[in-house]
Amino acid sequence: MANGEWRVTSGEWRVTNGEWRVANGELREWSYRRLWLNLPSHKDSRLANQLKMAFHSIEEYHSEQTEAIQVKLEQLRKAIQQAAPKATETISYGMPAFKQNKVLVYYAANKSHIGFYPTPNAIVAFEAELTKYKTSKGAIQFPINAPLPLALIKKMVKFRIQEDKQAASSKPKRANREQSIIHEDIAMYNNRQEENDRSICSLLASHITNLLTNSENNVWHGHPVWFLDGNPIVGYSKQKPGIRPMFWSGADFDEPGLNVVGQKFKDASVFFNDVNDLHVKDLRRWLKKSKEIQWDYKNIVKRKGKLIRL
C-alpha cells in the first residue's frame, strides 16, 4: 500500500513505510490484513472493505481470526479431515473448503458463530439433529460460545462424500466444453457481503459460471459481470432492496420474473433477499435467452450511446 491516511470513527490511521500508526488509541494488530477485524464497524468503514483481501490457504484464513475462533476453526477442520481423509483443502468463495470431485463443505468465521455449509441436502437429511441450531437452506450456525457438535459434523461430511461419489459416477462426460472459473475479484466481492447476501452472491456466481458456458467474468464498474466475446451479459450488485441480478438485454426476454426494467437501455432485473428466492430453472432459462438475445453494449461508446441488436 502507498503512504496515505484514512479517517475512521475511532481515530486517524496512517501508513508510513509499511508501518501502521494510530493517532488516537493503540493499535492491537500489525498485520495489514488483520486490521479490518479490529475496526469498529465492518458495515460503515470503507477502509475495512479496502483491507479485506482474498485468502490463499486455510492456514492464512485461520490466522486472521481471534485466538478463540482459531481454536474452534481448528477443531472443525480436524473433524472434516478425519471424516474425509481424501479431500483436498482449498479456498472457495473466500472461505475454507474441502473438495473431492466437487466441494463437500465450506465454513466461515463470523462474529458470534461459525457458519457451516454442507449443502441443502445434508441439512434436510440431519434435520432432526439440527433442531437446536439456526439453519437456512444451505447453512448452519454454530454459536462461538458453545461446543461444536463434532460427531454430527463428521456424519454430515460422510453424507456429502457419498453424494459426491454418486454425482461423479452418474454425470455424463461432456466433450470440448470450455470450463469457466470465478475470478478472484468476484470471490472477494462476495466475501465482503453480510452472511445472507454472501450466500446469495456465491450461489449466483456458481450457477452463472456453470450455465453461461464459454463466458469470462470479472468485477466491472464495481460489480461482478459475465461477458460473452467482451459483451456484458449478466451481473449482480448489492442494493438496498436486496441482491440485484441484472440481465443486460433482459428487457427483450419476455420474462415476467425480470420485473425491474431499465428506462434507458435494454436491461431487466429482479431482487433476491434469500437463497430460496433463486430458482435454478428460471436462471437457466434466462441465461439461455441471454445468449440468443444480445444488444451490443461492447461498442456503445463508439456508437455514441446507440444500442444495436446483435
Domain identity same for 100 and 189: no
User: Average pLDDT in the 287-293 region?
Assistant: 94
> Of 113, 58, 65, 50, which is closest to residue 87 (Cα–Cα)?
58
Domain identity same for 127 and 84: yes
Is 198 a domain residue? yes
Domain identity same for 93 and 38: no
Residue 306 or 87, more confident: 87
Instruction: Find the range with the poorest average confidence among 124-128, 285-289, 300-304.
Output: 300-304
* Residue 246 contacts residue 208 (beta carbons within 8 Å): no
Domain identity same for 202 and 246: yes
102: left (phi over 0), alpha (psi -120 to 50) or beta: beta
Residue listed under C-alpha cell 425480470: 258
Q: What element of type H or E holds 109?
A: strand 103-109
Domain identity same for 27 and 105: no
Domain identity same for 207 and 273: yes
Residue 99: what pLDDT?
95
* Residue 108 contacts residue 91 (beta carbons within 8 Å): no
User: Average pLDDT in the 105-124 region?
Assistant: 92
Domain identity same for 166 and 65: yes
User: Average pLDDT in the 86-97 region?
Assistant: 91
Is 268 a domain residue? yes
> Of 236, 228, 190, which is closest to residue 212 (Cα–Cα)?
228
Residue 44: what pLDDT?
35
* Residue 208 contacts residue 226 (beta carbons within 8 Å): yes
Is 219 a domain residue? yes
Is 179 a domain residue? no
pLDDT tens digits for 41-89?
333 333 333 334 568 899 999 998 999 999 999 999 999 999 999 999 9
pLDDT tens digits for 219-246?
999 999 999 999 999 999 999 999 999 9
* Pairwise CA distance, residues 190 & 223, whole Å: 10
Domain identity same for 115 and 16: no
**Grid coordinates given for 219:** 468485477
Residue 260 or 28, more confident: 260
Domain identity same for 43 and 65: no
**176 pLDDT higher than 70:** no
Q: How many domains does the chain have?
A: 3
Is 19 a domain residue? yes
Residue 171: what pLDDT?
57
CATH number, domain containing residue 190: 3.90.1150.200
Residue listed under C-alpha cell 453480510: 194
* Pairwise CA distance, residues 271 & 243, whole Å: 6
On whether the pTM is more than 0.95, the answer is no
* Residue 53 contacts residue 47 (beta carbons within 8 Å): no
Q: What element of type H or E holds 67?
A: helix 67-83
Residue 26 or 96, more confident: 96
Mean pLDDT of the chain: 80
Is 176 a domain residue? no
pLDDT tens digits for 7-20?
333 333 333 333 33
* Residue 249 CA from chain centroid, whole number: 24
How many CB atoms are closer than 10 A to CB 282?
A: 14
Q: Which amino acid is at 71?
A: V
Domain identity same for 66 and 164: yes
Q: How does residue 180 score in pLDDT terms, banded at 50, 70 and 90?
A: low
Is 261 a domain residue? yes
* Pairwise CA distance, residues 98 & 270, whole Å: 32
Residue 233: what pLDDT?
95
Domain identity same for 228 and 287: yes
* Residue 282 contacts residue 257 (beta carbons within 8 Å): yes
pLDDT tens digits for 120-175?
889 988 998 999 999 988 899 999 999 999 999 999 999 999 888 877 776 555 54
* Pairwise CA distance, residues 260 & 28, whole Å: 46
Is 196 a domain residue? yes
Identify the domain containing residue 104 by its residue range: 58-170
**39 pLDDT higher than 80:** no
